[in-house]
Homo-oligomer: A and B are copies of this chain.
């Protein structure tokens, strides 16, 4: 599916806001990879090439992907997650998660994969790991348009920050199974 102009603007806006988050996750993924802990990488954005010559693309559109941003392997298991950032200090707007992403999370969860969201509250400088199971339960029990920060503080492990890796998100994941 080709993404329309309005969606592209929205994507670009969200992407700029999320660039630092993406960079932190890439740094963490490199750390986990170099230390033989996991292999997780960002999926390239699919494009539809309209014209190209000698390996140079002269015209192309972005395409919408049904999968999430990151996938890979950890403790033999398939892992897939999405990372989102909000400037809000009080809640995470649920409009940030699209319907097709929710459906994909459900699909992978049913197949036995490990699925979650990494949510950054950029103004608060806090990161949380929200599993699909918890997220799905919340959506089933609430009709709210956002997830309050209190929900994260009470229900989700906070992701420890460091220099290398910048985000200890696999450690946050481990804390859920201990």
Interface residues of A (CB under 8 A from B): 3, 5, 8-9, 11-12, 33, 36, 38-39, 41, 43-47, 54-62, 65, 67, 71-80, 107-108, 110-113
Q: Which residues from chain B contact A72 at a C-beta distance below 8 Å? A: 78
A73/B108 contact (C-beta < 8 A), A43-B43, A43-B44, A67-B41 known: yes
The complex places the Cα of A13 from the Cα of B46 at a distance, in Å, of: 21
B107 engages A39 (CB within 8 Å): yes
Task: Give the residue of B33, B36, B61, B71 whose beta carbon is less than 8 angstroms from that of A55.
Answer: B61
10 examples of A-B residue contacts, CB within 8 angstroms:
A3-B55, A8-B55, A9-B55, A36-B110, A39-B107, A44-B47, A57-B61, A73-B112, A73-B113, A76-B77
Q: Which residues from chain B contact A11 at a C-beta distance below 8 Å? A: 55
A60 engages B57 (CB within 8 Å): yes
Q: How many copies does the complex hold?
A: 2
A73/B5 contact (C-beta < 8 A), A57-B60, A59-B56 known: no
The complex places the Cα of A111 from the Cα of B5 at a distance, in Å, of: 41
The complex places the Cα of A13 from the Cα of B157 at a distance, in Å, of: 49
